[in-house]
Chains A and B, each alone.
Chain A
Amino acid sequence: MNPRKASDFGIRSNRLSEFAVERDYERCIKCEVCIRQCSFDVHYRDTEDDVIRQRPELCVGCQRCAVLCPTHALVIRQNPAGYRAHGSWSGEHIKDINIQAETGGVVLTGSGNDKQAPVYWDRLLINASQVTNPSMEPLREPMELRTYIGAKPDAVVVENGKLATEMPPRVKLDTPIIFSALSYGAISYQVQKALAQAARELGTLYNTGEGGLHPDFYEYKDNTIVQVASGRFGVHPEYLNAARMVEIKIGQGAKPGIGGHLAGEKVSEQVSITRMIPPGTDAISPAPQHDIYSIEDLRMLIFALKEATNYRVPISVKIAAVHNAPAIASGIVRAGADVVAIDGFRGGTGAAPKVIRDNVGLPIEFALAAVDRRLRDEGIRNKVSIIAGGGIRNSGDIVKAIALGADAVYIGTAALIAVGCTLCQKCYSGKCNWGIATQNPYLAKRVNPNIARQRLVNLVTGWSHEIKEMLGGMGVNSIESLRGNRSQLRGIGLSKEELEILGVRPAGN
């Protein structure tokens, strides 16, 4: 077989390879693992010379081959040559212009914003007690991470030692970490199963996204958030009543203001069952929900869902973090929602136009702090729980989010990394070599749901323990004592305006 150019694979190449694929021929034993592992056809056997060669122009940098090569013969790295350095025109700009000049289409990408916008978590520091308010030891003292998601009454009445107030529907979480919306269709059956099982084991929730609920996953209903989005795919009374919480998806941090199109190629027989559309057809989620053009209309859908679920479960409304998020959140609370979920502009996606992912929306840190303050100022903060997502990378980010007012956080990208994702950002291609963002059975079986579940459980368990350590360090024994407690944060390298919006004091003050 002769070497082929990218054009043989339908790619008209006017582009420099993004990655260099370096094979150490002294180490290579021609076992062909790299050939079998790469769905992008980078590696091939040259039968004339009987060697394994590569087509670096097809490489997406997912590192699957390098990790699985038994003799460590492969190194994949950013193409060291690159385009000529330029302060204004990066190689990425040049590459994208070429793609569009060749196709006339919209440049797609996957996962979250990879640009160098400031990460405000990194400019916030957490307090700890010294001498006066002694720190606590979580291995010795009970530390409370339990969190109730849903509305809280304005007041509670206790009669004869019993709670007399009728409580709104709430969900009890053992840790304030929830798996965010990842639809079956965007991710594989195996990964969604692992998320569902991990959520059950951890006493938290996972979220179906807009993909409907696979018949096999109804058994995880006590740990399931089901979404109702603009396409209404797979939404019916049984689906709504199988949930512990129903979420109306208005927006997503990676692509605020636009809808989604699950390409027909990804609508397999199984995906077709959950979305309830014929196999091979596009699943088009329009940008708006057609019955929601105002807060009053949103109220209509919130109560339609409350009626459909007989007022048993909280109704969440998820929005992307955008410029006027606080006013919108106020409207959402007044429309009767029990939960407001806010997704920051670093949130992930299975597919989004790159220009939107990288340029639209707000950092979650600002949106969260501003929404929490607005709801407090209006005296309606108790009527709703806030779930913050979009760029939560470790337990430090979670502690900071809770101190800025979140009741709990959504993690999506972090969960997928735990399962094996290396952020190559090719989720939209359906060819995920790590078996995560694909419906190809050959690729999807690379994820063993049991191992994936265990890795997710390990991650959240580790983070939960770290949160307890940080709480103990502050001298508090309950996550409730941290919620909205900005006095536990200080800012470094932030302007006066930024500190004001976040509601935190500068470090040293």
Chain B
Amino acid sequence: MGECVLMAPGCVEIDASGLDFSELNRRVRSEVCRGKREIVLRNVTGQRYIGTNLYNTAESLDQVNITIYGTPGNDLGAFLDGPTITVFGNAMDGIGNTMNRGLIAVHGRAGDIAGFSARGGEIFIRDNAGYRAGIHMKEYMAMKPVMVIGGTVQDFLGEYMAGGVIIILGLTLKDGESHHCRYVGTGMHGGAIFIRGNFAEHQLSKAVGKADITSEDQSLLRSYIDRYGALFDADVSCVDLAEFTKLVPLSVRPYKKLYAY
């Protein structure tokens, strides 16, 4: 149980079976401290907070790659600040919670509140995501989180969103099928959501409206669609930029008129 297999220099493989989250994360941390940059976790079964505890383990965490086989637990990459996490399997709730920098790619689906409060970094989810994806994502100066979801999502997409970009590709929808998510962008006051595929007007919250897709938007979409295709080895040739709807907040100060002054 919990075997570490040494591979090429800088690489290490950890068998996560039977390890609780604190033990698994402690081992990942000590490997990064020892200079390992490629960390492969096998038999992951619900261990939480992978990648959360790496502060101050290396000069730069940008070269750290954590590859997960199995199903990581909630809060995968919470407070992430640089590493790349690749999941061969599905992810649970709260991936990229309050993340700052780095990349999370899920070769499968993700649970609820994916990208909650993320301030930077990138999240790619190959298939669908659950409820409240991108809730309270924000942005600050050069930091601008982007979340790409290959399939569709549940209700409350982009709730309270204050910045960043969410791209929904709709690739898992059947021919003629519409998105089912409702209350899209409730309380949204920043950022943008791009959705490919059909939905009805009533599925949007009162806080959002449709906007024209600019040429800048087009190049952003094109680059993220291509990266999605490359990451997941997916055929994205069917994705036509004309099929996207851009949603933006109607007000950046939704509570301005709430008070009596």
Interface residue tally for chain B (C-beta within 8 Å) = 50
Task: Give complex CA distance A499, B163 in Å.
Answer: 52
The verdict on A231 contacting B75 (CB below 8 Å), with A281-B190, A308-B52 known, is: no
A307 to chain B: which residues have CB within 8 Å? 21-22, 25, 49, 52-53, 78
Q: Point out the residues of chain B lying under 8 angstroms from A231, CB to CB.
A: 117, 136
Asked whether A308 lies within 8 Å of B256 as measured between CB atoms, the reply is no
Closest B-chain residue to A353, C-beta based? Answer: B259
Residues of A within 8 A of B170 (CB): none
B139-157 CB mask vs A (1 if < 8 Å, else 0) is 1110100000000000000
Interface assignment of A310: CB less than 8 Å from any CB of chain B: yes
Q: Is the CB of A241 within 8 A of B56?
A: yes
Of residues 195 to 251 in B, which have CB atoms within 8 Å of A's CB atoms? none
B260 touches A276 (CB 8 A): no
On chain B, the residues within 8 Å of A237 by CB distance are 54-55, 79, 81, 100
Contact A277 B138 (CB under 8 A): yes
Given A304-B49, A308-B55; A278-B79 close (CB under 8 Å): no
A177 to B79, CA, bound (A): 31
Contacts of B160 in A (CB 8 A): 284, 286, 290
B113 proximity list for chain A (CB < 8 A): 290-291
Chain B residues lying within 8 Å of A202, measured Cβ to Cβ, are none
B93-138 residues with Cβ-Cβ distance < 8 A to A are 93-94, 97-98, 100, 113, 116-117, 119, 132, 135-136, 138
CB distance from B197 to the nearest CB of A (A): 25
Tell me whether A276 and B261 are in contact in the complex, defined as CB-CB below 8 angstroms, given that A291-B116, A307-B53 are known contacts.
no
In the complex the two chains form, is B97's CB within 8 Å of A304's CB? yes
Residues on B with beta carbons closer than 8 Å to the beta carbon of A465: none
- SS of B interface (majority): loop
Q: Is A322 an interface residue (CB 8 A)?
A: no
Is A14 close to B, CB under 8 A? no
Question: Is B253 in contact with A232, judged by CB distance below 8 angstroms?
Answer: no
* Most chain B CB within a 10 A radius of its CB, from A100, A300, A311: A300
A300 vs B254: C-alpha distance in the bound complex, in angstroms? 31
CA distance A300 to B74 in the complex (A): 8
- Select which of B97, B253, B260 is within 8 A of A100 by beta carbon: B260
Is the beta-carbon distance between A278 and B97 smaller than 8 angstroms? no
**Contacting chain B: which of A104-112, A368-376, A407-415?**
A104-112
**Shortest beta-carbon distance, B123 to chain A, in Å?**
16
Let me know if B29 is at the binding interface, CB within 8 A.
Answer: yes
B79, B117, B139: which contacts A308 (Cβ < 8 A)? B79
B32 within 8 A of A: no
Contact between chains at B135 and A290 (CB < 8 Å): yes
Interface residue from B119, B143, B159, B189 paired with A282 (Cβ < 8 Å):
B189
Q: Which of A261, A276, A307 has the most CB of B within 10 A?
A: A307
Contact A106 B48 (CB under 8 A): no
Contacting pair B257 A303 (CB below 8 A): no
**Cβ-defined contact, B139 with A282, below 8 A:** no
Nearest Cβ in chain A — how far from B95, in angstroms?
11
CA distance A359 to B97 in the complex (A): 34
Interface set, chain A 272-310, CB cutoff 8 A to B:
272, 276-278, 281-282, 284, 286, 290-291, 300, 303-304, 307-310
Measured between beta carbons, the chain A residues less than 8 angstroms from B1 are none
User: Closest residue to B51 on the A side, CB-wise?
Assistant: A307
Residue pairs across A and B with CB atoms within 8 Å: the count is 132
Give A232's nearest chain B residue, CB to CB. B117
- Report the nearest A residue to B253, measured CB to CB: A282
Residue A324 interfacial (CB < 8 Å): no
Smallest CB separation, A151 vs chain B (Å): 16
When distances are taken between beta carbons in the complex, the residues of chain B under 8 Å from A104 are: 260
**Set B22, B56, B189, B258: member contacting A106, Cβ < 8 A:** B258
A386 and B75 CA atoms in complex are apart in Å by 28
Q: B22 contacts which chain A residues (CB < 8 A)?
A: 303, 307, 311
Q: Does A498 contact B (CB under 8 A)?
A: no
* A261 nearest CB neighbor, chain B only: B255
- Nearest CB on A from B111, distance (A): 11
Q: Does A103 contact B (CB under 8 A)?
A: yes
Given known contacts A237-B100, A281-B162, A290 and B49 CB-to-CB distance under 8 angstroms = no
Residue in B93, B132, B139, B253 with the greatest tally of chain A CB atoms within 10 Å: B253
Interchain CB contact (< 8 A) of A99 among B52, B159, B260: B260
A264 within 8 A of B: yes
Residues of B contacting A5 in the complex (Cβ-Cβ under 8 angstroms)? none
Given the known inter-chain contacts A276-B138, A308-B52, A310-B29, please indicate yes or no for A284 contacting B259, CB distance below 8 A: no
B136 touches A290 (CB 8 A): yes
**20 further contact pairs, Cβ within 8 A, besides A231-B136, A235-B117, A237-B81:** A103-B260, A106-B259, A241-B56, A276-B143, A278-B140, A281-B189, A281-B253, A282-B189, A282-B253, A282-B255, A284-B189, A284-B254, A290-B116, A290-B136, A300-B75, A303-B49, A304-B78, A307-B22, A308-B53, A308-B79
Residues of B within 8 A of A (CB): 21-22, 25, 29, 48-49, 52-56, 74-75, 78-79, 81, 93-94, 97-98, 100, 113, 116-117, 119, 132, 135-136, 138-141, 143, 159-160, 162-163, 187, 189-190, 252-261
Task: Give 22 CB contacts A-B under 8 Å.
Answer: A106-B258, A108-B261, A232-B98, A236-B100, A237-B54, A237-B81, A238-B81, A264-B256, A276-B143, A282-B254, A282-B256, A284-B160, A284-B189, A284-B255, A286-B187, A290-B113, A290-B116, A290-B117, A291-B93, A303-B48, A307-B25, A307-B52
Report, nearest first, the 3 A-B pairs whose CB atoms are least far apart: A105-B260, A237-B55, A232-B117
